[in-house]
Structures are given as structure tokens and as C-alpha cells.
A and B are shown apart, each in its own frame.
Chain A
Amino acid sequence: MQVALDGPWSPLLGRLSLAAIPYSNPILVSTFAVVVVLGIVIVGAALRYGKVGYIWREWLTSVDHKKIGVMYIILGLVMLFRGFIDGAMMRTQQLLADGPNSPGYLGAQHGYLPPYHFDQIYTAHGTLMLFFAATPLVAGLGNLIVPLQIGARDMAFPYLNATSLWLTVSGAALCMISLFVGEFSNATWVGLMPFSEMPTNPGVGVDYWMWAFQLSSLGTTFNAINMIATIVKMRAPGMSWFRMPVYCWSSLTTNIIGLSIFPVVTVALTMLGIDRYCGTHFFTAGYGGNFMLYVNLFWIWGHPEVYFLMLPAFGLFSEIVPTFSNKALFGYPTMVAASFSIGGIGWVVWAHHFFTMGMGPALNGYFSAATMLVGIPTGVKAFNWLFTMYRGRITYATPMLWALIGLVLLLIGGLTGMMLSASVFDYTVHNSLFVVAHFHCMVLVIGAALFAGVTYWWPKVFGFKLDEKNGQMYFWTFVIASLLVFVPLFYLGFAGVTRRLDYIYNPALKPLLWVSEGGIGMYFVSLFYFGKMLYVSLRDQIPAAADSWGTGRTLEWLTHTPVPFYNFAVTPQINARDELAWRKAKGLEGVQPTQYVPIHLPNNTAVPVILGALATIFGFAMTWRIWWLSLASLLAIIVVVIIRSFDKNEGYILSAEDIARMENRIALASIVAEQPKRPALVQVEAH
């Protein structure tokens, strides 16, 4: 029942052969060289400074929610960079390939990318940005902050948490492997049907895309289960539902969405997989296949997925705006209600992604109206933030700047979204660059929120702030770049440029393409400031206080900076919604616990890393149809899980004396840190 393959296949290596390595493509070869050099530098540095054991013991095998969060964020930032490079390549191709007289380089007729390669690049751009940049960043911040904000020791299931991370990493690894072995999908990140089917797309690209997607969505589903269980079961005593920080609420809603939608896309992709591997006819063009079934299943996942990423962004704004306005959040209950409304409406608007399917006016009317409804709770949130700032004492620190630009982008993206929600209008600009500009404004809201969140909580995790001056330069260059790139796209969309074009037919559009390309150049400038910000901050490492920004309101600012691995020496009792603000008002913020009790903590384990590695091998073997290796790695996964279930290790107990000793050491260190800088004694004696 296996489908006939187009091309050679051997039992040992499946479809894999030397021809799969794209050594004739200079772009891929130079990328490969860069990746190899970077890899050698990183591994070499680890070996040179004897850090390999440390990285393995303290990071890769860690089940600590903070370290897992940091690893998620590192993955997200690396993939964000790769996704950005893909985006820059697309914009450059469109700039070069305009009109019949445009020159061609590197074997392309116009521009420098042949259509087949260009198609893979936009597919990779969408896939990477959503699954391997935005999702890990959101999951990473959630992992870092939610347990701290609810006063928990860790997530409900630390081992599952590490497994989620390594499944996501294995998906990202498959995407990276596809660059240098074989090819990536050319069927867009949504998987166009029936184009993604075997007869029209016989290569391994779609298989790479499918398995990367499947593995990472499995990880995200596990993470959603873990987050919901943590928020429901692990809150500190006294933290009733309506004392929970808004970020935890938005995390809860977002993970309820995640848990309910990811299984649907798993079904859609599995059906595509059965089609491609066994020759069934779910989405084929013949034999009764219905490819609009795929589109519906995909967007039943795909639209809530947008809110899955957007709600944490709103939660981040809701933490940052009160802190830097030095004022309690305006309209807390409406904020919670708005989160749930957005989540609820998000489930029932999916068909606005394909108004042109031909559903008829009744359904199009329903989906238009439902989509417009989303504007109401979103508007509630926007006004709540504005009213929080109203008469607040606003500090324009970098996180606040990001939050403010997030609101501006939300306005641009939201209003153009309202335009698109009218199905009659959508017929005009469907699949045009107007849509691209709209949803990039929306994902830039998420991006702004994530940069805000990372800057805001950086001192909590690492003990020192990110450099403010370079951070602001990064902010301004990034914002100008974003507007330069995407505002012209609104016009180009109106002018009739559809998305995913490797060739622009009308040379008259060149000036706007140049503006957009200028924005790409600006992004590179902002990247420089990002690097400089990291470098300066890491070099100086100016210690930050427990309440790093001075106006923190929630529980995470109560514990030490950087957070010790046990989070809180003694679990706090919650007395108010903004616990730290309440303690400050009562003059109690400095009161430390007087007695300690032993803490039960989980041991590190290598099993999640091994599972991630086996999952990568499984995905790779399935992609290349190496059946023996697929079967072996699948069996290995099952065997590892079973062996691990016989493990009697129940973690370890951190004794009260140990906690007291570590707490004292932290207290001493902070006293040393608070000493003002004085001239050295020798100089004083010289007088």
C-alpha cells in the first residue's frame, strides 16, 4: 500500500543519495559554511573553556522551568534570525526581478532566485517564524514567568516540560537539516492542496515541512497541558482566581486555545501524510478527495493559533504598562473577560481566510460579522491600557517603548483587519500584499511584546539589565525598519501585487519596492544594535535589584534577582491581587521569612534530550523513507519511555539548612552590590 516513488529508492538509505546535497547552489553552500563555522566556534569555545560537562549537566538535561524557558528563547531568537534572512531574500528578489528587462543572476531568469528556490524560501519564512520563532518565544516567556508569578516551585510536570522543549527543537532541527540535505517544501507554510500531494509535489520538501510541523505541534500540545495544570493546581496559598496576574490569565486562555486546536492540525497533517505515504485520497484532486476539507481543518487550527500567539502578547502589555505607569492595571475583570472572549470568538472565525472559496453569501456574512466581533474585546483591552497610562507616572524604559509601539501597530493591523473582515472588500485584496502587510503588523505586535517581555524580565533571570542606551537604539531602528518595510506593502497590495510572487510584472512599482528594501537595510542596522546591546550588557553586568525596575507589582519581583533555582525560599502567602504592590503599600516588602522548611525538587534527566534526538532521527528517516530507521527510532522512543517509567528516582530534598545558607549568601552578595563605587584606598593615602 506504499505509493510509487518518482526516482530511486534503496532499502538502506531510502531516497537519500549524494544528489540530495545542493553543493551546486552558492547560496546554500555559503550558508552551510557559515553554520559550520558558527558550530565549530560554539563547540570549540565550550571545549576550550571546559564547559561541555556544565552545559550538559546544568542546561541540556535540566528540568528547571527557568532554564527551559531560556533555552526556548534562545531557540526562538536563532530561528527569528533565520526567518528574517529568508524575508530579506524575498524582498531583495522582488526588488531585482521587476519587469521583463530585469537582469538575472545565479542561474535565475530574473533576480537571483529561481522560482522553485524562491517558493521554498517563503515557505520556510512562514513556517520558521510561526512555529520556531514566535511559538518558542511565547512558550519560553510563559515557562519563565508563570510559575514565578503564581509562587510555584516549578511547572506541574517538569519532565514533560523538558520533553516539550526538545520536541520543538527537533522540529527546528529538521528545518535546518532541510537546508543542506534535500530541499524544503515549496507549497507555502499553510500547505496548498492538492499541490502538496504526491503527484504534484513528489520531492521530500513537503515531508520535511510536515514532520517539522508535527513534532513541534506535539511539543506545543504537551506544553499547553503543562501550563494549564500548573496554573490550575500550583498557585500559592491565597492566590484566588481573581488575584492572579493578568499575564497568567492570558497564559491560561492561550493554552486552553492551544490544547483545543493543535490536535486538529495534527489530524489534517496526518491525513496529508497518509495520502503521501499510503496513497489514500483525502485531499487529492481525484477519487472523491476534498481539498477544501484540508483548508478548513488547517484554519480551524490556524486562526485560533494567531490568538494563541497574540493573547500572551496582550498579557505582556498588561504587565508592562502598569509597572511603567506606576499604577494598578485599569479594568482587571474586563481584561480577563476580554481574553476569554477573544479566545472564544477566535474559534469560530476561521473561514475568513478563504472567503473566496465560494461558501455563499450566508456563510461569508456570518464569518464577516464574527470576525468584526473580535474588535470589541480587543478594543476593551486597548482602552484599558490607555486608561492605565492616564494620569500614571510613566517611565519610558525600553520595555515600555516596545509596549507603546505595540499599541500603535495593533491599531494599524487591527483597522486593516477590520477592512479585510468585510468579505466584499476581501475579494479585492485576497492573497495580495495588503493581506501580507496586515498580518505582519499583527505579528509585529507579538514581536514588540516579546522584545518588551524579554527586556522586562531579563534582569530577573540573569541578574543584570540589558543596556538601556543600545536597547533604545535597537528599538528605534527596528520600528523605523518595520514601518519602511510594511507600509509600502499596503499600497502594493492595492496596486494588485499578489503575495508569493518571485517576479513583479510592473516596473512602475520599483520606487516602493526600494522603500521596502531600505527597511530591510534598516533591519540590519537594528540587528547591529541588538548585538551591541547584548555585548555591552554581558560585558558590564551591572547587578539589578530584586525589584529591578523599582515599580514592579507582581510576585516575581519579590524573590531574589537572579532567581535561585528553588524560586522562593518559602512559598509566599498571597494577600492581594498585586501582591508586591500591596506589600510595598504596607511597608512589608523587605520582610524575609524567618524559618525555612525542606523543599522537594526534581532531579535533572537526560531522557527528554534523548527523546528529542530520536524524534529528529524519526522525522528525518520518514522524510527520506528509510523504513528500517523509522521503525528503529520509533521503537527506541517507546522503549526509552517504558524504561524511564521504571525509574524510582523521586527527586531530592533540599534541606532547610542548605536553603538558609544560600539565602544568607544571596543577602550578603546584595549588600556588597549596593556599596557605592569608591576610589581605591591607595589613591586616598597618596594625598
Chain B
Amino acid sequence: MASNIPAASAVLWNPSADEHDPISARTYGFWLYLIGDALLFCGVFASYAVLDNPVNAAGGPLTAQVINAPHGLLQTFIILASVLAYSLGTVSLKTGNQAGVRLGIIAALLLGAAFLYISGSDLLALAAQGDGPTRSAFLSVFFTLLLTHGLHMVFGILWMLVMLVQVSVLGFTKDVVGRLLNLRLFWQFQATMWVCVYFYVYLLGGSR
């Protein structure tokens, strides 16, 4: 693929090439991270598929007996509302409106906390009635799947708290804007993972 440029007119050095767009590279890198994270969920989902089986329940309950279907639906609406709130917050980013961004993050954060509260109390109730993760291999993977998603939400909320401070203290610097955009991707990602959990565990698993 050698080009046929004559030697005399060849451009050998390009001094203007140093201006890379840092936000674009960071967002790209973050997408790559999300691919890796999605594969992590793949591994847990695959394990769930293997262990969601009467043999692996060891005489204990299976999906239909451990899920709280109305709560699942409610949680789905809460998490989608949370994503919407955060996205509306980032709309204010375009106008440089700090108060709007803060409001969006706080709303998303509170909705996320509400989700975690429901999820946590359901799981604790299950454990309290003797169906904790140590009961059977199926319950181990059930708890692990929900907690893997929950842990992502906890980190998202921690990230939001940090961003609330950074927006106020640092303002909309290049770094802060890049992080706000990546956090939007992350929050959307964990919600997508929840939709997968809802579909696979609550709808498919619950109907068996």
C-alpha cells in the first residue's frame, strides 16, 4: 500500500498533529471499560442460567419463589426515572447551568437510593426467612447477581456524590465535564443491566 507521492513533495512531519481531543479519548476508553463490565455481567448471567435448576436449588426455593414481582416492576420504573433525571441534568450542562446539573444528580441519586432500599430490604427478608445465599447454589447466584448490580449502583451513587462536590468546587472544567458524561454512560449502563435482570430473572424466571 505504499503511496506514489514523489519524494520532493512528500510531507514528512506534521506539527499540527498533537491536538488530540481528550474528552473523546476518555469517552472511548470508558466505553471499552463498559464492554468489560458487560462481560462481567455475562459471566454472572451464564452462571445464573446454569444454576437456575432444581438440582442446584438443593431442595430450596427457585426463582419464582424468591422474587417479589410487584417490587421488581416498581424498581424498574424507579431506575428508569433515575436515568431520566440524570439525563435531564446533563441537558443543563449545555447551557452551563450548575443548579440544573446538581438538581438532576440529586434526583437521580435519591431515586437510586430508593431502589437500593427496596432491593436491600427484599434480600434481607429472604435471608431472614432462611433462604440466604448459603442455602443453595441457586440462592448463591441469585444473591450474587442482584448484589453485582447493586454494587454498581452503590459506586454510581458514590461517584454522584463526588461529582456534586466537584461541580460546585471546580466548576465545569474539561475533567469535570468528561466525568459527568462518563457517569451518564455508567448510570445508563447499570440501568440496562437491571432491565436484563428484570427480563431474565423476574419475567422469564418468574413465569417458570
A interface list, Cβ under 8 A from B: 1, 153, 156-157, 160, 221, 224-226, 228-229, 232-234, 236-238, 242-243, 259-264, 266-268, 271, 274-275, 278-282, 284, 286-290, 293, 297, 332, 570-573, 575-578, 582-583, 586-588, 591, 593, 595-597, 599-600, 638, 642, 645-646, 648
Contact = CB atoms under 8 A, between A and B. Distances in A.
Contacts of A263: 36-37, 39-40, 42-43
A278 B37 CA distance: 23
A576 B58 contact: no
B14 A288 contact: no
B15 A259 contact: no
Given A290-B50, A576-B2, 15 more contacts: A233-B25, A236-B14, A260-B35, A260-B39, A264-B39, A271-B140, A282-B141, A288-B51, A570-B15, A586-B7, A588-B10, A597-B16, A597-B18, A645-B175, A648-B173
Nearest to A333: B1
B1 A264 contact: no
25 contacts: A224-B32, A259-B35, A263-B42, A268-B43, A271-B47, A274-B140, A280-B144, A281-B140, A282-B144, A288-B55, A288-B136, A288-B138, A290-B50, A293-B50, A297-B46, A571-B13, A571-B14, A573-B12, A575-B3, A576-B3, A577-B2, A578-B2, A646-B170, A648-B170, A648-B173
Contacts of B12: 572-573, 575, 583, 588, 591, 593
Contacts of A578: 2
A578 B17 CA distance: 20
Nearest to A300: B43
B43 A280 contact: no
Contacts of A221: 36
A282 B36 contact: no
Contacts of B169: 646
Nearest to B6: A586
A582 B55 contact: no
B58 to A, nearest CB: 4
B77 interface: no
A266 B2 CA distance: 44
A264 B43 contact: yes
B134 interface: yes
A284 B134 CA distance: 11
Contacts of A228: 32
A297 B47 CA distance: 9
Contacts of B26: 157
A226 B26 CA distance: 10
The interface centre, meaning the residue of A266, A288, A648 with most chain B CB atoms within 10 A of its CB, is A288
Contacts of B166: 645-646
Interface secondary structure of B, over-half rule:
helix
Interface string B1-31: 1110101001111111110100011101100
A494 B17 CA distance: 60
Given A226-B29, A646-B169, A575 B5 contact: yes
B18 A229 contact: no
Nearest to A586: B7
A591 B7 CA distance: 11
B14 A570 contact: yes
B56 interface: yes
B137 interface: yes
Contacts of A572: 12-14
Contacts of B14: 236-238, 570-573
Contacts of B28: 229, 232-233
A484 to B, nearest CB: 41
A599 B18 contact: yes
A221 B10 CA distance: 40
B13 to A, nearest CB: 4
Contact of A286 (B39, B43, B44, B58): B58
Nearest to B10: A575
A603 to B, nearest CB: 14
Nearest to B161: A642
Nearest to B55: A288
Contacts of B58: 281, 286-288
A160 B32 CA distance: 13
A588 B33 CA distance: 41
Contacts of A288: 51, 55-58, 60, 136-138
A236 B135 CA distance: 57
A224 B17 CA distance: 25
A283 B183 CA distance: 35
Contacts of B179: 645
Contacts of B17: 236-237, 571, 573
Given A264-B39, A288-B55, A573 B13 contact: yes
B123 to A, nearest CB: 12
A274 B144 contact: yes
A540 to B, nearest CB: 34
Given A577-B1, A577-B2, A646-B170, A266 B40 contact: yes
